[in-house]
Chains A and B, each alone.
Chain A
């Protein structure tokens, strides 16, 4: 997927003016937050579970190489295959090779963010393999030629009338006068069309929420059942998973499952949690003949041992974006790459490079809500700050911002001049504010004052006030 993060400001502006989008985003604000809050309230040990989930992931990351090796060993033992992919390109190639071996024409797909990350659909298409997204939200955006705007609710940026129009435009084989008034009729139409695709597909590709080292198992967590049809009906099942998805045992999986659905959709448990271990066995009447796992690194191992290591705990629940005022205002597409919201602002620079995604760590009000709801207690604001620092060190921030900061640093190191300068600017601001006490135009900050007034300065500079106070507070 092409990276459009450098245009974040432009994207955000367009998003704010987009009425359809703003209407759709109101569902994120109202529904997700309330549902999570209720689910969390109803489980008295939610915070203890969070702590334990964090501990499990920390332990796993410390032993990541060993758990991955064990996972591989177990998959091979039960007749599956493991493909290690250092880069997105490796992973795409491996998937295509598997498809080519059986001359696959169509591939059904369960929801997978890794597939988005490696740009799999576009790649398969140019190589004459047709990918068909089967998650309802993914199916809708595939019809529209779009990408997901949310990691668990890919079509959350759309309203029903838009979807209705898409279905009328694309499903031309159906009678024109059919009613599509209710959401259920849209769902049933998609279900009918996708049933055929499921039964006719050669290969099924799913993501993975977990890989269990103990048993060589991949786990998907879904609500629709499309992931299960995707992996049960075709001859080949390919799992796309990144290396940090591994957990040690079944018990560890249960611990994290207890915080996952509650944080994501507010359900106590998603409808389907499916554990898959290898291909069809001797007495299986159904299931795939081949089971492949593509293990993707794509920059993750380079996060180990850095200030971004904690991000590898992320379980992709989406809670951080559901609670983010910036996401609420601009939606997911403005972020310009696969992963939106606070988790994206931290992860995207790690995976796609800070030089391509520099604006993202600034897409934050630092209100801290993301960290407070993150089930894996990932310090997202702190990591965004780290990225800002890196961005500055690498001379990637805008020239004007750098110049001003440098100027400030010069003064800050010279207290005498600093005091003089701040007193002078204080005076200047006072003059600008006049009697109203508000400043409606500030030189060099026109962008800021165009839409708001800046309050006039306090009667004294901070330094003066501090000095007065220190003298006053002197013990008598």
Chain B
């Protein structure tokens, strides 16, 4: 018998056999269809609290966060790069929202397009959303925001609109289902909470392991 048959048979005979399958199948279908929400931590009185929680938690995970108007996003990027003595250049994908935000800034900021092959110091992405509970960004793969920008850039800047900052992870799953269809996800969904790190040497935390050394979040307030 194939490994597949062998494994499934062994499981079936241990957990209840065929006779009860109808009921077990119905249980499974129900759970997959209803995807019940479990326990949600923290309560929020208003939207401002959600943004505050996001900011506090993101900073706790060593991200830097700033709020600005949409017209000032490119200025914020330039300021960040200057502060860290980085060249005024960045790599972005095909995200139209991001392109619009950076339009007309070519004189102060050199922008190239596409994935990062490891030679680009700074990548800028647009997040699909964020979960305030832990300061976690949600980014999805595709030509708009190539995954390599998230990991091969030494400095990763993520732009997010304040209305996309939601309370819990579960709110993002709802959003993804609405956008991509039930039971479907983009190839990769990256939940990112802070810059990369390692504590493998004597349990000492060091920022900047294989991924970015800095994660800067720009929250667009209008």
Tell me if B28 counts as interface (CB < 8 A to partner A): yes
Q: Does A440 contact B (CB under 8 A)?
A: no
Is the beta-carbon distance between B200 and A155 smaller than 8 angstroms? yes
Interface residues of A in 283-299 (CB under 8 A from B): 283-287, 295, 297
Q: Are B24 and A136 in contact (CB under 8 A)?
A: no
Residue in A137, A243, A278 whose CB lies within 8 Å of B7: A243
A114 contacts the other chain (CB 8 A): no
Q: Does B189 contact A (CB under 8 A)?
A: yes
Q: Which residues of A contact B24 (CB under 8 A)?
A: 62-63, 66
Q: Mark A264-283, 1 if CB is under 8 A from B, else 0.
A: 01011111111111111101
Q: Are B38 and A52 in contact (CB under 8 A)?
A: yes
**Is B108 an interface residue when CB atoms closer than 8 A count as contact?**
no
Is A128 on the interface with B (CB-CB < 8 A)? no
Q: Is residue A65 within 8 Å, beta carbon to beta carbon, of the partner chain?
A: yes
Please give me the residue from chain B that is nearest to A306 by CB atom: B14
B84 within 8 Å of A by Cβ? Answer: no
The answer to whether B55 has its CB under 8 Å from any CB of chain A is: no
Chain A residues with CB under 8 A of B211 = 224-225, 228-229, 271-272
Cβ contacts under 8 Å, A278 to chain B? 187
Q: Is B64 an interface residue (CB 8 A)?
A: no
Shortest CB distance B55–A (Å): 14
Instruction: Let me know if A44 and B15 touch, CB within 8 A.
Output: no
Q: Which residues of B contact A160 (CB under 8 A)?
A: 201-202
- B196 part of interface (Cβ distance < 8 Å): yes
Q: Collect the chain A residues with CB atoms within 8 Å of residue B185's CB.
A: 215, 217, 275, 277
Contacts of A45-66 to chain B: CB distance below 8 A? 45, 48-49, 52, 56, 59, 61-66
Report the minimum CB–CB distance from B116 to chain A (whole Å): 9
Q: How far is the CB of B132 from chain A (nearest CB, A)?
A: 12
A20 CB to nearest B CB, Å: 12
Pick the residue among B146, B188, B210 that contacts A225 (CB under 8 A): B210
A80–B199 Cα distance when bound, in Å, is 34
Q: Are B195 and A287 in contact (CB under 8 A)?
A: no
- For window 129-156 of A, CB contacts with B under 8 Å fall at 134-137, 140, 153-156
Asked whether A56 lies within 8 Å of B146 as measured between CB atoms, the reply is no
Docked complex Cα distance between A84 and B191 (Å): 29
Within B1-56, the residues touching A (CB, 8 Å) are: 2-4, 6-8, 10-12, 14-16, 24-25, 27-28, 31-32, 35-39, 41
Pair B203/A31 contact, Cβ less than 8 Å: yes
Query: Known contacts being A154-B200, A251-B36, is A226 close to B189, with CB within 8 Å?
Result: no
B221 within 8 A of A: no
A362 at the interface (CB under 8 A from B): no
Render B133-151 as a binary contact track against A, CB cut-off 8 A, 1 for contact: 1111000011100111011
Bound CA span A140–B202, Å = 12
Q: Are A229 and B209 in contact (CB under 8 A)?
A: no
Closest CB in chain A relative to B117 CB, distance in Å: 8
Distance to closest chain A CB from B192 (angstroms): 6
Residues of B near A134 (CB, < 8 A) are: 210
The chain A residue with its CB closest to the CB of B12 is A65
Interface residues of A in 377-415 (CB under 8 A from B): none
Q: CA A223 – CA B61 in complex, angstroms?
A: 11
From residue B149, how far is it (CB to closest CB) to chain A in Å?
Answer: 9
| A249 located at the interface, meaning its Cβ lies under 8 Å from any Cβ of chain B in the complex | yes
B152 CB-CB contact with A under 8 Å: yes
Q: How far is the CA of A475 from the CA of B168 in the complex (A)?
A: 63
- In the complex, chain B residues whose CB is within 8 Å of the CB of A24: 202
Total count of chain B residues near the partner, CB < 8 A: 78
Check A277/B187 contact, CB under 8 A, given A228-B151, A248-B28, A302-B10. yes
Give chain B residues whose Cβ lies under 8 Å from the Cβ of A163.
201
Contact flag A251-B32 (CB < 8 Å), given A187-B201, A229-B151: no
Asked whether, in the complex, the Cβ of B200 is within 8 Å of the Cβ of A280, the reply is: no
Distance from A322 Cβ to chain B, minimum over Cβ atoms (Å): 11
Contacts of A280 in B (CB 8 A): 187
Whether A90 touches B3, Cβ cut-off 8 Å, given contacts A63-B24, A251-B173, is yes
Task: Tell me if A36 is interfacial: C-beta within 8 Å of chain B.
Answer: no
Residues of chain B with a CB closer than 8 A to A64's CB: 11, 15
Instruction: Check A356 for interface membership: any CB of B closer than 8 A.
Output: no
Contact assessment for A183 and B202 in the assembled complex, using a CB-CB cutoff below 8 Å: yes
A252 within 8 A of B: yes
The 8 Å CB contact of B187, one of A27, A223, A287, is A287
In the complex, the answer to whether A199 meets B31 with C-beta atoms within 8 Å is: no
CA distance A199 to B118 in the complex (A): 9
- Residues on B with C-beta less than 8 A from A69 are 8
Q: Which residues of A contact B201 (CB under 8 A)?
A: 136, 155, 160, 163, 183, 186-187
A272 with B170, Cβ < 8 A, contacts A31-B203, A249-B35, A305-B15 known: no
Question: Which residue on A lies nearest to B60, using beta carbons?
Answer: A268
Is B105 interfacial (CB-CB < 8 Å)? Answer: no
Contact A195 B118, beta carbon cutoff 8 Å: yes
**Closest Cβ neighbor of B140 among chain A residues:** A275
Instruction: Tell me whether B129 is interfacial, beta carbon within 8 Å.
Output: no
A232 an interface residue at 8 Å Cβ cutoff?
Answer: yes
Flag whether A258 is at the interface (Cβ < 8 A).
yes
Neighbour of B197 across the interface among A31, A66, A215, A224, CB < 8 A: A224
Determine if A269 and B173 form an interchain contact, defined as CB atoms under 8 angstroms apart: no
B18: min CB distance to chain A, Å: 10
| Docked-complex contact A281 and B187, CB < 8 angstroms | yes
Cα distance A408–B108 when bound, in Å?
87
For this complex, 21 residue pairs linking A to B, each with C-beta atoms less than 8 Å apart, are A45-B39, A68-B7, A85-B3, A86-B6, A198-B210, A214-B32, A223-B199, A228-B190, A228-B211, A243-B7, A248-B35, A251-B38, A252-B38, A265-B199, A272-B191, A273-B191, A277-B187, A281-B141, A284-B141, A286-B147, A304-B10
For the complex of A and B, list the 4 residue pairs with the smallest distance between their C-beta atoms, beginning with the closest.
A225-B211, A304-B14, A137-B200, A224-B209
6 A-B pairs besides A195-B210, A224-B197, A274-B190 with CB distance below 8 A are A65-B15, A153-B203, A187-B201, A225-B210, A268-B61, A269-B191
Residues of A within 8 A of B (CB): 24, 27-28, 31-32, 43-45, 48-49, 52, 56, 59, 61-70, 74, 78, 84-87, 90, 134-137, 140, 153-156, 159-160, 163, 183-184, 186-187, 191, 194-195, 198-199, 213-215, 217, 223-226, 228-229, 232-233, 243, 248-252, 254-255, 257-258, 265, 267-281, 283-287, 295, 297, 301-302, 304-305
